[in-house]
Amino acid sequence: MEIKNINNKVLLLIFFFLSSFSFSMEQDIDRYNISILTVSPGKDLVDAFGHSGIRVVDNELNYDIVFNFGIYDFQAPDFYSNFVKGRPIYSLGINNYNRFFNDYKNQKRGILEHKIQISKNKKDALIRLLFENSRQENKFYVYEYFNDNCSTKVADLFIENFNDEIYNFEINLSSKSNYSYRSLIYKMIPKNSWGSLAIDICLGSIIDQDINYRQTFFLPSKFGSFLDTIESVNPEIIESKLLLKSQDIFEESGFNLTSPLFVILFISIFIILVSFLDFRNNKQTKVLDILLISITTMIGLLISYLWFYSDHSAASQNYNILWAPPLNILLFIDLFTRKKRKWILGYLKFIFLMLLLMMSHWILSVQTFNITLFSFIFALLIRYLFLIYNHKKLIS
């Protein structure tokens, strides 16, 4: 969830620390402090879900570093193509803690620290595991929004390797959480925002299913809350401390002139008004239909690619395709030819029914569609009704 590049200074830090680590590992491991850092969300979409890291402090050699699973290099070959295909490559990097802290301080974001009081042997195992995973041949992994990100990596390390020491009997991690991925996304990104609209269009009904508690840890704040519950039961195991208080960096996302709700509502009213005038004046505004066909076709092609051809598992079962079918490109045949075809009338009736089906999916909660689309779907219904009426008249 975090965008950073490893610079030469950080690489030098890694090598220097590794060389010292091999010399000092046989000594008293209790000199190490290990904690989980939870960073609050930032104002940009890429930072909206927060961040997690593992802090390791060597009190004897005065090392203070953060293991960061959120590293990627946007200048790497095929980075953007891999991202579109659903195979973005991230890596585990090592940051100097002071640099890590100051970076988020400059971004006005908060940092919460949970110190983990595990045994000496467990600390030994964790540090060895972190350095093993940070080696050049091991540090890269395929990032996945919900199942393999900077937060789940940290959570998996602690739960799978140290469950016997940090076990929290008050939470069954395999039980249902009464959350879905989408509902948790809405907690981080307002529904009436362009980022939320893009996510809702690209990701399918699969993210509307209830998830278990462990799956909620894709959000750093949820894993942080889990650690808080352990602290409340076993304060000798975990101790929390607010290192940096977040500042108010968010703007109101209500009804304003640039919000998707207002923009799409304005477009929808325009579509309905033009359709009414076309009906009254017995004509067809083809420019409007060209725009609508182009927009729905391109969105439909994107949905189809993400669903059927990419590795974005969360993009499957996406019923936005009901209002944005890629086959809408067929309507261009009717627009640019004089002869009107009867099968086009059949297709218009088909996509009208698909809109009604999409609304039933919405009502029955098969998939949650972005609320800002409601007016646009209604406007499409009106426009398709007019096109059906107009086509019937022209072929009769």
254 pLDDT higher than 60: no
Which CA distances in Å does 158 have to 56, 68, 224, 225?
14, 15, 12, 14
pLDDT score of 310: 92
3-class DSSP assignment, residue 193: coil
pLDDT per position as a tens digit, 86-121: 888 899 999 999 999 999 999 999 999 999 988 888
What residues form DSSP beta bridges with 55?
35, 66
- How confident is the prediction for the chain on average, in pLDDT? 87
Domains and CATH numbers, the chain: 8-175+213-244 (3.90.1720), 260-395 (no CATH)
Backbone angles phi, psi at 96, to 5 degrees: -65, 130
Decide if 262 contacts 255 (C-beta within 8 A).
yes
pLDDT exceeding 90 applies to what percent of the chain? 66
- Percent of the chain past pLDDT 70, that is, above it, reads 88
pLDDT for the residue numbered 8: 42
Tell me the per-residue pLDDT of 290-332, one tens digit each, with 9 for 90 and over: 999 999 999 999 999 999 999 999 999 999 999 999 999 999 9
The whole-angstrom separation of Cα 54 and Cα 164 is: 19
Angle between helix 181-188 and helix 194-202 axes, rounded to 10 deg: 170
Between strands 140-142 and 210-212, the pairing is: unpaired
